[in-house]
Amino acid sequence: MKFVYDARCEDHVQWPGHPERPERVKAIVERLAAEAPRRKFLAPTAATKRDLMRVHDEAFVERLRQAKEGPLDADTFIHKGTYALALLAAGAALTGAREVVKGPEEVFALTRPPGHHAGADFAGGFCYFNNAAVAADFLSREEGLAPVAVVDFDVHHGNGTQAIFQKRRDIVYLSTHQWGIFPGTGAADEVGKGPGRGRTVNVPLPAGSGDRTFEVAWERIFLPVLEEARPQAVVVSLGLDAHYEDPLAGLSLSSPAYIEMCRKVAEFARKRARAKALFVLEGGYNLTALGETVAGLAATLEGRPAKTGLNTVADASGVGAKAVEEAAAVQRAHWALNA
């Protein structure tokens, strides 16, 4: 697995004590280096304004470029260097997209700031530009890999990604997320609009959902939708805040279950798509969970055993299985899902 990383992403500081902090990526890189000392990291090329305009309005990009220091929302701040660092994050996802097209390995873009709450003309929720959406659009329209699937495992709904792609047929957006928390979107009946109707697949889950619920969601919805959609590239918006150790939210995935979910997506892409899976970092605020899950995923895809310590299975029975079935019932209008 190749990693795209630039240490400058650690210059991005919302304010001291903010959960989206530089140590998040540092913890991942240190763990990767400890487990595989010879691993090389690829340097990203910063995105251009044109790259961002794949999915963002020009006026919005200009607004952020010229923004004075100050808050965008209660959790998201603009500093002097923010625009340049946000270009670097979008560029890391784009560099990752170019790399998965070249092959032969999976690629993980260690993006900071994250992106999935940024829409065509809005920012917020720690996000400025939508890194994963820029990469997905590139893979679809530039590389001819349509349709492209964007699989979002962050505990928060990717409202920005959904808004960007909801009217498009060439992108299938699938998201698991905790229901009833920020940003409030992602109900099962939000299925896309116009030509994109049926191409948005939301699986909102109750607090406590974890290992077993995610297996059910994969078997009942994600895998059959992917098999039917036949995406030629897969981008994973990988937030690690659905982990049971995460301080911000209430889902309960263990590290091994997270790794297994990602392995299944990677295996799908290996078998069925023309490009291997591209992982793009979103949220995740427990440093141990971040480090061991990402390093464990790399080990798994490289054929080594994953070394994890956060292995407690809090959801063995499928706390959210009913919610998965409700989402499946909605999606049956659009996909051949078993009753």
Interface positions with Zn ion (CB under 5 A): 154, 156, 239, 241, 283
Closer to Zn ion by Cβ: residue 242 or 337: 242
Helix axes 287-301, 23-35, angle to 10 degrees: 40
Which H or E run includes 197?
none
**Shortest Cβ 186–Zn ion spacing (Å):** 12
For the chain, counts of helices (H) and of strands (E): 11, 10
**Shortest Cβ 76–Zn ion spacing (Å):** 13
**Shortest Cβ 177–Zn ion spacing (Å):** 8
**Shortest Cβ 284–Zn ion spacing (Å):** 7
Radius of gyration of the chain (CA): 18
Closer to Zn ion by Cβ: residue 156 or 212: 156
Contacts 24+ apart (CB under 8 A), 42-45: 42/2, 42/3, 42/4, 42/5, 42/95, 42/99, 43/4, 43/5, 43/6, 43/95, 44/4, 44/5, 44/6, 44/88, 44/91, 44/92, 44/94, 44/95, 44/96, 44/109, 45/91, 45/94, 45/95
**Shortest Cβ 249–Zn ion spacing (Å):** 7
Whether 334 is catalytic: no
β-partners of residue 107 are 2, 278
Catalytic residue among 117, 157, 177, 243: 117
**Bond before 231 cis per omega within 30 degrees:** no
Closer to Zn ion by Cβ: residue 156 or 220: 156
Q: Outline where 103-189 has alpha helix (H).
A: 131-137, 159-165
Catalytic (active-site) positions: 117
